[in-house]
Every structure is written in structure tokens, then in C-alpha cells.
Amino acid sequence: MHSTTPVTNLQTRHSRPTRLLHAGLALAIVTQLLTSLQMHGPDDVQAGDILFQVHRYSGLAATVLAFGLWVTILVRSRGTDLGALIPWFSVRRLVALRRDIKVHAEAALKLRLPEHDPQAALPSAIHGLGLLLISAMAASGAIYFVQVALGLHSAEPDGMIAITVHLALANLVWAYLIAHAGLALLHHLLQSMRLSTMWSLGR
């Protein structure tokens, strides 16, 4: 698989608030996923309980960061607009999405990467679905936290809708994270995009 696309101009990079929120959200989600592999639960006094606390508070951080990113998307002057991230209610955007899916499918059959375009319909829609997925996972965990803190439920998650949704989304988040990071790294290695367009702290 190869690409002959020139490196994306750094002038098209995302705004600094977008990059900072994206980095914080990514770190919070990775922390959540990794701690979920070994934590035991809120009532366990072993090491797993410490991991649960880290998981809990990184999840609350993820909720705040996801909300901040949505607000930034609404008010920013540079970057993918909300309509491109959520194209499902626009006939024009759905037509563009179908066309872009065809372009990506044809490229994949030839073992090529299509030209990297941060405003293309398919990548934008996938980014939107990823942010919706991560937001739903973070929000469902936060709702569970509030329910337990207010005494509305015991800490045991059995039968609770919020935590059931939270757990059901976990595998999807794993899949999205691996695919998203893997494709970004592949584009970087093929010099069709620099990781610094998103992973940079500079102005």
C-alpha cells in the first residue's frame, strides 16, 4: 500500500484549542481502556481498587473534555464543521459521503491510500462517529458515577442502564482507537499527512 500525496500544508492544521482538547481526550480514553483491563471494582481493597479510582476520574475528565471539544467545534473558525462530522441529516452531505466511500473503496482494492483531505466526507463522518461514541461512553460512565454518589443505586452495576451502555461501548471504543491511530500513523509514514497537524502544542 502506498501513497504519492504530498504532505499536508501545516497551515491547514487544527486550531490550538482543538489540538489540546483532542490530546487530553485521547489520553483520558487510553487511561480508561488500560485501567479497565485490570481493575476489580469500587468495593475491592486490592490494587484493582486504585485502578478503578483512576478509571473513574479519568472518565469524568473525558466527559468534560468531550463536552469542551463539542463546544469548540461549534465556535471555532478553522477545522471540520459540525455538519461534516454529522452528515446524516443533509441530502447533499450524504451524496458526498457516498461518493467518497466509493473513492476509498476503489483505492483500497488497489492497495492504495486515497489523497489525504481533512475535509473529505468519509474521514469527517468517521471522526464524528468516533466523537459521538467516545462522548456516549464517557457520559454513561459519568451518569453511573452520579447515580451512585447520590445514593440512587448501589455501586454494583448489575442491571443499571448507564453502566450496561458503558460496558457495551467499550469494545467499539477499542476498535475505533486502534483503527484511528493506525491510519493516522500510516498516513504519517507515507508522508501524506504529518501527525503534528493534530499532535502539536504550538500556536
Query: Amino acid identity of 172?
Result: L
pLDDT at res. 17: 86
Cell representation of residue 2: 502506498
Question: Distance between CA 174 and CA 133 in Å, rounded?
Answer: 11
**What does the domain layout of the chain look like in residue ranges?**
10-197
Q: Which residues of the chain have pLDDT under 50?
A: 1-12, 45
Given 1.20.950, 1.10.540, 2.60.120, 1.10.1740, which CATH number is that of 10-197? 1.20.950
Question: Distance between CA 173 and CA 178 in Å, rounded?
Answer: 9
DSSP state of 88: G
Looking up cell 448489575 gives 158
Give the predicted TM-score (pTM) of the model: 0.80
Segments in the chain forming alpha helices (H)? 16-36, 47-75, 82-85, 91-109, 121-149, 161-189
Neighbours of 10 (CB within 10 A): 11
Query: For the chain, first and last CA: distance in Å?
Result: 33
- Who's near 64: CB < 8 A, 6+ residues apart? none
pLDDT at res. 83: 92
pLDDT for 147-199, tens place per residue? 888 877 666 655 578 888 998 898 899 999 999 888 878 777 776 667 667 66
pLDDT at res. 45: 47
The SS3 of residue 155 is: coil
